[in-house]
Structure 1
């Protein structure tokens, strides 16, 4: 959105980070009125640490406006089904059988607190109607033409976005093992770790993930195809689409047993590609310009929120990181 400065564009997977903060910090940490603020404090500290480490010129916290998009569920009904909680009192305006993601009761109100702090600090949030944060990140990373993009998430699915070309590059700062053990992934790292081709490591990772499946997202994969064989097949044929074509080609060099497994899973493979691949052309709405300010947008409001939420120290670290980058 903004005229870029020297630093990178930092795209944060909001829910991924505040869920991690919630479980990493004890709930006994509360505001003066007794409300838990562990996720708020932990998330704010994460943003401060990431700002200090990467010195971004622009920063966007990306949001799930729909954590389980209908188009993905229509293609594969098991998609994230294990994370679903039946809505106790459905909104009368919502579709029959409305569902919601299982979120700890003490985390939900903290998300609103986090958004308040971000707004007062002057940090942009962004979302896309009917889509996940992954799709927002996918769109912003794909269309960026000026600055290196660093995606911060604990979700390996976003490794599909890594690239060296076309410039600018995209990297994923994977925090699945915690911020202190975070790793910066590019095409070389993805290729070396998962055995996919270097030339298209990002897209190849998505195709491999679709082929092997992902229990955390409710994707069954192809029976009898694991990580290693999935990587070998994608490396050999170049893409999931090319592999599916090879299954129907009698002249293709596919072992009989592998061909039979893939043929039996054709309906799944046809659906899995669009489910696993992030949307790259979403209509993204921003709360404000994505330029990361050196001073809070509303310092008085930020100070008041910090006091109300027992978050003076994390907020101070965030303000300091913003000023010194």
Structure 2
């Protein structure tokens, strides 16, 4: 199996859950690095993956989505400088642990994961996406797994609709209609998750929905006339949102399956790294077990 990790989920979780009183010898916070390192080391010990990659976000404002819609993610507070530094340290830690990392100035981590999944699935490698971001569920195909590592839940292709309300292939359309407040993506006003789930139970895509909008009136749907009217009146908004919610699977990455082979940890580099950030024996022992 090929394990693809959405780094931001675990770095932000560590940043918010571990006190920033955990600092390096210079007094700078390393709480996010420590939490991420614990997570990654535990995962490596647990599954011993042959192939693995970690995707990082660059500057959110640099995504192609911001060119399509400048307000994309504009509701988010700027990343603190102390956390930006820790993101860089997390990438350094991955490399020392023998795990390939990926980042792009024009695309997001989701797009990198989508590209790797699409490209390397042709090598008959089932994909495990390690995240808790619902957007990434749209990438799951038969044989793949969506792993919410934090809750300990894994979902196969056949489980996604029960978990998120819609088949993986229809998730981007589902989000285009409901909108996504987390990413500041507008949807169709008055159309919530339950209604959207019903719509995309009957329609394969947003394109199919707009090609036969009158069919909405014949569905067993509460306020069907209102829903059809809202969809018609906010068509351009929904079509724009569909461009924002779709994960791009054509990031120009130069990589092949061998590039994602897990390497043996570089214990010397890790010792220098852990000395720099002021970590003790716990993570060092974990790295030694991984190299055994």
TM-score between the two structures when normalised by the length of structure 2 = 0.89
When residues 301 and 53 of structure 1 are mapped into structure 2, their CA distance, relative to the original with a 3 A threshold, is closer
Contact 1:162/1:185, CA 8 A, preserved across alignment = no
- Structure (1 or 2) with the greater helix fraction: 2
* Structure-2 residue corresponding to 1:56: 49
Report what 2:233 is aligned to.
264
Aligned length: 284
Query: How far, CA to CA, are the matches of 1:302 and 1:250 in structure 2?
Result: 60
Which residue does 1:89 correspond to in 2?
none
**Equivalences for 1:51-130 in 2 at 5 Å?**
51-83=44-76, 102-130=78-106
Residue 176 of structure 2 aligns to a residue whose secondary structure is helix
Match of 2:250 among 278, 281, 291: 281
Distance 1:322 1:48 in 2: 8
Structure 1 pair 317/146, CA: closer, same or farther in 2 (3 Å)? farther
- The answer (yes or no) to whether the contact 1:141–1:170 under 8 Å persists in 2 is no
Q: TM-score, normalised by structure 1?
A: 0.80
1:250 to 1:121, Cα distance in 2 relative to 1, 3 A: closer
Runs of 4+ aligned structure 1 residues displaced above 6 Å come to none
Matched residues in 2 for 1:139 and 1:250: separation? 35
- Over residues 26-75 of structure 1, what are the superposed CA-to-partner deviations in whole Å (9 max), with x where a residue is unaligned? 11111222221111111111101111233211111112234245532233
Measured on the aligned residues, the alpha-carbon RMSD in Å equals: 2.3
How far does residue 279 in structure 1 lie from its aligned partner after superposition?
Answer: 0.5
Query: What residue is the counterpart of 1:170 in the other structure?
Result: 144
Equivalent position of 1:218 in the other structure? 184
Is it true that 1:194 corresponds to 2:169 in the alignment? no
Find 1:16's aligned residue among 5, 9, 24. 9
> Which of 7, 19, 28 is matched with 2:21 structurally?
28
| Aligned match for 1:290, one of 260, 264, 283 | 260
- Which stretch of the first structure deviates more once superposed, 301-310 or 109-118? 109-118
Query: Which stretches in structure 2 are left out of the alignment for 5+ residues?
Result: none
Which residue does the alignment assign to 2:136?
158
1:115 Cα deviation from its structure 2 partner: 2.2
Post-superposition CA distance 1:7-41 (Å, at most 9, x none): x2111112222111111111111122222111111
SS at 2:186 equivalent: coil
Q: 1:277 to 1:38 in 2, by over 3 A?
A: same
Map residues 38-53 of structure 1 onto 2, 5 A cutoff: 38-53=31-46
Using the TM superposition, give the Cα deviation of residue 208 of structure 1 relative to its aligned residue in structure 2, in angstroms: 1.0
